[in-house]
Amino acid sequence: MTLSARNRLDGKIEELQLGGVMAHVAIRVGENLIESVITRRSAEEMKLKIGDTVSAVIKSTEVMLEKK
């Protein structure tokens, strides 16, 4: 598969909550946690489970920054 998005973060699924229509997926990337909401159908088709290695692919026209 070829994607136009260039921001790819590899990590492991740490939490997976399946709802009626949507699924909440938390991915551990180093010390950070990336959270995504996808359709339950997609999660089931991908056979996602805790511990799976996945890539969070980010494509957005807007990225917010916070100075610490």
For residue 62, tell me if it sits in a domain: no
DSSP bridge pairs for 55: 10
Residue 65 in domain: no
Question: Could you give the number of structural domains in the chain?
Answer: 1
Give the single-character DSSP code of 18: E
Residue 17 belongs to domain spanning = 7-57
Q: Is residue 36 part of a domain?
A: yes
Can you give the CATH number for the domain in which 22 is found? 2.40.50.100
pTM given for the model? 0.83
Per-residue pLDDT of 11-64, as tens digits, reads 999 999 999 999 999 999 999 999 999 999 999 999 999 999 999 998 877 777
Answer yes or no: is 2 within a domain: no
> If you write DSSP's letter for every residue of 23-46 in order, what string do you get?
EEEEEEETTEEEEEEEEHHHHHHT
